[in-house]
Structure 1
Amino acid sequence: MTRHEGDMERTFAALPPAHGRGFAQTWWGQAWLRALEDTALDSGQVKTGRGLARAGAVGAVSVRPGRITAVVQDRDRTTHRADVLLAELPAEQWDRLLDLAVERSGHVAALLDREMPTHLVEDAASEGIDLLPGLGDLEPECDCGAWDHCGHTAALCYQVARLLDQDPFVLFLMRGRAEDALLEALRARSAAPAETAPEPDGVDAAEAYAAGDILP
Structure 2
Amino acid sequence: MSVIVRNPEGQIKLYSKGADTILFEKLHPSNKDLLSLTSDHLSEFAGEGLRTLAIAYRVLDDKYFKVWQEMLEDANAATTERDERISGLYEEIERDLMLLGATAVEDKLQEGVIETVTSLSLANIKIWILTGDKQETAINIGYACNVLTDAMEAVFVITGNTALEVRQELRKAKENLFGQNTSFSNGHVLNESKQQLELDSGAEEAVTGEYALVINGHS
TM-score above 0.5, yes or no: no
**Larger relative strand fraction:** 2
Q: TM-score, normalised by structure 1?
A: 0.27
